[in-house]
Amino acid sequence: MKLEIAFLYHDLMNIYGDRGNIITLSQRARWRGIETTVTELSVGDPVDPDKYDFYFFGGGQDKEQYAVADDLKGEKGAALKEAAAKGAVFLAVCGGYQLLGHYYRPDNGPDLLGIGLLDVHTIAGNKRCIGNVIIQSEFGTLVAFENHSGKTYLGPQARPLGRSEIGYGNNAEDGNEGAIQNNVFGCYLHGSLLPKNPHFADHLLKLALQRRYGPVELTPLDDTVEMAAHRAALQRARDTR
């Protein structure tokens, strides 16, 4: 099998080590003998909506988000929407998450329009939500780190990724974290997310492969180290609550 990964705005939206998600997903595929290609796509780069199985869209500061939002207007955003409609998997974190929604309203200045892959909108809050995160989700417990001022609110087309055990979640109000809509996953989970949550990484990998091959089963990997990191992060989050 082969896997085509697109790393969106790799040079602008990649804070707090979000590149670790690309490394984890591609390595967990390669360890299973799956031929994996990672393509970096930034401002001005066209997107072929039929080519990629998985898109990663990381976090970035407001100033980067202005440049990216501008690039997403027109055919780029349309191509990403076409890819999602054809079953491609998206994982978007923080700033990327916000721009997959309808809009991000920064503290000052005009709304940054998103591409509406997720039925969410975001409004800058007056405090930063920073700290370790634990959420309970349908994919198991997820551990991460968050740093955002944006408060994201879900519309009826999206469902939460999970419930916050520790952390502010989408908006420090409703107790939910992240959003899922079809194969599009958005969240505030930096860390980076996938290295310490191999069970979620494999869920996304299976989804991305089934776009091209139908239902697949992944051979189990020895996740002793990954789960040791997961447990350590759980302990740290609970100890520093």
Q: Which residues bind ligand GLN (CB under 6 A)?
A: 15, 59-62, 65, 94-95, 147-150
Catalytic status, residue 102: no
Could you confirm whether 94 is annotated as catalytic?
Answer: yes
Q: What is the dihedral of CA 69, 114, 179, 45, to 10 degrees?
A: -50
| Min dist. Cβ of residue 238 to ligand GLN (A) | 23
Give me the least distance between CB of 102 and ligand GLN, in Å please.
15
User: Between residues 12 and 84, which has the closer beta carbon with respect to ligand GLN?
Assistant: 12
Q: Which is nearer to ligand GLN, 167 or 198 (CB)?
A: 167
Which of 10, 121, 148, 190 does the annotation list as catalytic?
190
DSSP code per residue over 2-16: EEEEEEETTTTS--T
What gap in Å lies between CA 128 and CA 130, rounded to an integer? 6
Q: Which is nearer to ligand GLN, 68 or 207 (CB)?
A: 68
Reduced DSSP (H G I as helix, E B as strand, rest coil) percent helix, strand, coil of the chain, to 5: 30, 30, 35
What do you get for the CA distance between the two ends of the chain, in Å?
43
Q: CA-to-CA distance for 194 and 152, rounded, in angstroms?
A: 22
Closest chain position to ligand GLN (CB): 59
- CB nearer ligand GLN, residue 29 or residue 161: 161
Q: How far is the CB of 60 from ligand GLN (least distance, A)?
A: 5
Give, in degrees to the nearest 5, the angle at Cα 186 between 47 and 40.
30
- Kindly state the smallest distance separating residue 65's Cβ from ligand GLN, in Å: 6
* Catalytic center residues: 94, 190
